[in-house]
A = this chain, B = another copy of it.
Amino acid sequence: MIIDCHGHYTTAPAALAAWRERQIASLADPAAAPRREDLRITDDELRATIEPNQLRMMDERGIDVTVFSPRASFMAHHVGDFGVSAQWAAICNELCHRVARLYPGRFAPAAMLPQSPGVDPATCIPELVRCVEEYGFVAVNLNPDPSGGHWTAPPLADRSWYPLYEKLVEYDIPAMVHVSTSVNPAFHTTGAHYLNADTTAFMQLVQGDLFADFPTLRLVIPHGGGAVPYHWGRFRGLAMALGKPPLEEHVLGNVFFDTCVYHQSGIDLLVDVVPAKNILFASEMIGAVRDIDPCSGHHFDDTRRYVEAAKLPEADLAAIQEHNVRAVYPRLDALLRSQSRLSS
């Protein structure tokens, strides 16, 4: 089985964006805000956005299951206040839940959180509880910069994040550390902000001692870890200079990198420097890079090709493509097992 731990609902029906536009337009006039029930999307409309897109490409590429969360760049936690984010997160999460329910065994839902700049992360817990307990979500996306490129939030090892981590640990679900759109003109969203956030988050974890307090917390750094594996020597040296244990002891019991790296040399480096147990298969399809690479004739984001060409021992390949994801996302593992029993 091949599990892609990083997919977003980037193809949601246009009605969703229209609802969001109405919500944003009403920021200055809350009485004009759309209600959640104003958004009406039928199951057929959902199918029409999934079957010719993510599901078709999963079938073409041989991806069995995708961990599926709301579109990352649309989370836009910088917009409005907590109430605005709470409404928006509830709607987006519900759509991912419905997609997962329509295609059991093919999509497993992961939640966006209703974060808002300067607001206590603990306010996100009710939505997290709802998604896990009512909908059976298997993971969440945690935005280390709800300001959208102004980086006003404290580092991830700060105690203000702890209530959220406590809940993640209680539910035994991982968080993917994933920013949203950049409203800072210095940062292109998918070409700079995403990768910078990955690098920044990892270094925050190296500087801190978060996993001494949360030994079972698991964080996934997407996009192959940003700049981290390419600069593995720098990070090893910086950990030494900071008086931290080696990265293997200090963070690699809890931190995992996905394989959203869109060329062969990058994947080769990733599997060369990062232990196989810390790598999770992913492609972020359909995402930031949708074209076919004219050099290879295949989609840039068809990462299965690179991972399978990386000359990995068979056990490592199976770990990366399936077993690690099941171990890091135990509720996904349980979901897949229950679905498999139902279908057999």
Please classify the interface of chain A as helix (H, G, I), strand (E, B), loop, or mixed, using the class held by over half of its residues. Answer: helix
How far apart sit A300 and B190, CA to CA, in the bound complex (Å)?
30
Chain B residues whose CB sits within 8 angstroms of the CB of A98 once the complex forms: none
**Is residue A11 within 8 Å, beta carbon to beta carbon, of the partner chain?**
no
CB of A282 to closest CB in B, whole Å = 13
**Is residue A235 within 8 Å, beta carbon to beta carbon, of the partner chain?**
yes
Chain B residues whose CB sits within 8 angstroms of the CB of A192 once the complex forms: 196, 199-200, 203-204
Query: A265 touching B261 by the CB < 8 A rule?
Result: no
Chain B residues whose CB sits within 8 angstroms of the CB of A187 once the complex forms: 151, 200, 203
- Which residues 64-81 in A have Cβ within 8 Å of B in the complex? none
Query: B233 touching A223 by the CB < 8 A rule?
Result: no
How far apart sit A203 and B188, CA to CA, in the bound complex (Å)?
7
Out of B185, B269, B289, name the residue touching A266 (CB < 8 Å).
B269
Out of B145, B150, B200, B241, name the residue touching A290 (CB < 8 Å).
B241
**Is residue A318 within 8 Å, beta carbon to beta carbon, of the partner chain?**
no
- Which residues 21-53 in A have Cβ within 8 Å of B in the complex? none
Give per-residue flags for A187-215: 1 if the beta carbon is below 8 A from chain B beta carbons, else 0: 11011100110011001101100000000
Give per-residue flags for A213-240: 1 if the beta carbon is below 8 A from chain B beta carbons, else 0: 0000000000110110111111111101
Query: B224 touching A230 by the CB < 8 A rule?
Result: yes
Closest to A198 in B: B227
Query: A234 touching B203 by the CB < 8 A rule?
Result: no
**Is residue A263 within 8 Å, beta carbon to beta carbon, of the partner chain?**
yes
Chain B residues whose CB sits within 8 angstroms of the CB of A144 once the complex forms: 186
Query: B227 touching A154 by the CB < 8 A rule?
Result: no
Closest to A272 in B: B265
Are A233 and B289 CB-contacts (below 8 A) given A188-B207, A191-B238, A196-B200? yes
In the complex this chain forms, how many copies of it are found?
A: 2
Give per-residue flags for A240-253: 1 if the beta carbon is below 8 A from chain B beta carbons, else 0: 11000000000000
**Is residue A262 within 8 Å, beta carbon to beta carbon, of the partner chain?**
yes
How far apart sit A97 and B236, CA to CA, in the bound complex (Å)?
34
**Is residue A155 within 8 Å, beta carbon to beta carbon, of the partner chain?**
yes
**Is residue A288 within 8 Å, beta carbon to beta carbon, of the partner chain?**
yes
Q: Could you jot down 23 A-B contacts, CB within 8 Å?
A: A144-B186, A150-B150, A153-B186, A188-B200, A188-B207, A191-B203, A195-B199, A199-B227, A223-B234, A230-B230, A230-B266, A230-B269, A232-B266, A233-B293, A234-B261, A234-B288, A236-B300, A237-B262, A237-B288, A237-B293, A237-B301, A265-B273, A269-B269
Pick the 9 closest A-B CB pairs, nearest first: A233-B263, A233-B262, A237-B289, A227-B227, A230-B230, A191-B203, A196-B196, A237-B300, A151-B186
